[in-house]
Structure 1
Amino acid sequence: MTLVLDKSTAPTAEPALLDLAGGPRRRARPRRVPRWLRALSGPALLIALWWLASAAGLLDPQLFPPPAAVAATAARLVADGELQTHVWASVWRVSQGTAYGTVGGAVVAVLAGLSRVGEDLIDSTMQVAKAVPNFALTPLLIMWMGIDEGPKVLLIALGVGIAIYINTYSAIRGVDAHLVEAASTLGAGRSAMVLHVILPGALPGFLVGLRLALSSAWLSLIFAETINTTEGIGFLMSRAQTLLQFDLSVLVLLLYAVIGLLSYALVRFLERRLLGWRHGFEGV
């Protein structure tokens, strides 16, 4: 049973409701679909359209296999343990290259961003490195480092490092000068200014660079795994193209898509944890 307060004693124009315990009862809010589930609606829609087009005969099953055929190929590779081996090999290479590239790119960006001398010595060199395609370095890396894991990891690290550098350097130079002046006026030393003003201000740009760097890492992996390898997602793609296995080719594309979504989710998680102090526009 609920009691309705008299309008003359209610604090607002709308009557407030009291439960039997005497406390205010909140209005029930409509349940909303979780954000992560809404984010997956786009990929799910693409798969549904793919299934409908295949079922309607709009796609040639020899050139673009239906989802059931791709799923059967995936199940066979998982049962053989082959898919896990290839995915783990690629994940391990990308993890190493991303770690080296992130640390190296961030350090170089800080050195170039905090001083004009560092900018003069480093920035032009990094701009030249950005203009050189990764795949153009593949033959040189093979001649210099051989055909082991070294050139594969280095190729990934270069792609990651450049993306981290470009965004972090721009973010450092984009920190509001008024904040730096205010910190200096309050007596902050150079190290305190860097730790408490400049680097936190550049953190959003670094995370944007990390998001791009993860995409660059998986793109670089395609070229890296053409260097004398028998394991990896790139090797699977090369084998599928050679043997005209279209179901395997589509499966590899789906693997790249899933890994891309997971990489994006990781960066979004870091943004929520590290940028809780920032309240930007989140859409309407």
Structure 2
Amino acid sequence: MSRFALIARKLGGARWLSPLLLLAVLEFGSRSGLIPERTLAAPSQVIATLWAMVLSGELADNLFVSFLRILFGLTIGITVGVVLGLVAGLSRQGEVAVDPIMQIKRTIPTLALTPLFIVWFGIGETPKVALIAFASIFPVYLNLYGGIRGTDLRLLEGARSLGLSRAAQIWHVILPGALPQLLVGLRYSLSVAVLVLVVAEQINATAGLGYLINNARDFMRTDIILVCLMVYAVLGLAADGLVRAIENRALAWRPAIVAQ
């Protein structure tokens, strides 16, 4: 085995080679002047800026503000999505009342509501949280609604033959069967919430990752912009990892989960 192959194996396989090669090309381009600093900072400069922001506490303070925004927005959005999904999924009357409105909501781009939310809520924290909440409702609603309506009829017939009441059927059969779909919706909601956070924090922010990006844009600090984008990416990955952890625990009864 060649020395190059041994290095690749230690790095975790060939999948890491292309990203590392790209970083090397960017570093060379920046250091040689082929890529101006105002266009794209060198990877080494981005790492140095990240370390400086961590040591100064600037990154942690602004990250905490962004985290609170996404936490409040998601809490509201997921709660509303679950309630509406239960109403529409468990009742024909609820479906008639809720689903048409949710389908209309689906066709409206969330970010297009930004000017309207500013008119309604001003330019403080409320429109930022409201945008995140509005965007995170539909994935949870749609997947929970689909999961409930996709419950195996044979399971319901078995529950009825055992004498389970309607409430017991919902608790012991319908909701556990819909849980995998709900977690899929939760994963989508978390991803969408991070994306909307990027735009929401451009609304007259005085703190947060978006605030850092706006200031960096004014001073053409591409290194700070890239640091904030990296943090956004980490937030998305952390959110997805959180849902995966919940899946592994909540869906331990599924063969596919046990096999992992």
TM range (shorter): 0.7 to 0.9
For residue 227 of structure 2, the aligned residue among 229, 233, 251 is: 251
- 1:33-52 alignment to 2 at 5 Å? 47-52=19-24
Residue 152 of structure 1 aligns with an amino acid whose one-letter code is K
Partner of residue 189, structure 1? 165
Higher relative contact order (CA 8 A, sep 6+): 2
Q: Give a deviation string over 1:223-269, Cα, whole Å, max 9, x none.
A: 22122211111222223333322111211221111111111110110
Residue 227 of structure 2 aligns with an amino acid whose one-letter code is L
| Structure 1 position 158, deviation (Å) | 0.9
Residue 201 of structure 1 aligns with an amino acid whose one-letter code is G
The 8 Å contact of residues 94 and 156 in structure 1, kept in 2 or not, is answered as yes
Partner of residue 266, structure 1? 242
Misfit runs of 4+, over 6 Å: 281-284
Partner of residue 113, structure 1? 89
Distance in 1 (CA, whole Å) between partners of 2:219 and 2:149 is 50
The 8 Å contact of residues 216 and 225 in structure 2, kept in 1 or not, is answered as yes
| Structure 1 position 79, deviation (Å) | 2.6
Distance in 2 (CA, whole Å) between partners of 1:123 and 1:168 is 12
The 8 Å contact of residues 86 and 233 in structure 1, kept in 2 or not, is answered as yes
Q: Which consecutive residues of structure 2, in runs of 5 or more, have no partner in the other structure?
A: 1-10
Partner of residue 8, structure 2? none
The 8 Å contact of residues 251 and 257 in structure 2, kept in 1 or not, is answered as no
2:35 aligned with 1:60: yes
Residue 53 of structure 1 aligns with an amino acid whose one-letter code is V
The 8 Å contact of residues 85 and 144 in structure 2, kept in 1 or not, is answered as yes
For residue 84 of structure 1, the aligned residue among 44, 47, 60 is: 60
CA RMSD of aligned residues (A): 2.4
Q: Which consecutive residues of structure 1, in runs of 5 or more, have no partner in the other structure?
A: 1-36
Q: Which has the larger radius of gyration?
A: 1
The 8 Å contact of residues 77 and 134 in structure 2, kept in 1 or not, is answered as yes
Partner of residue 172, structure 1? 148
TM-score in terms of structure 2 length: 0.87
Q: Give a deviation string over 1:179-224, Cα, whole Å, max 9, x none.
A: 1122112211110000000000000001001111001111111222
Q: Percent identity?
A: 42
Distance in 1 (CA, whole Å) between partners of 2:172 and 2:185 is 21
Distance in 2 (CA, whole Å) between partners of 1:130 and 1:229 is 27
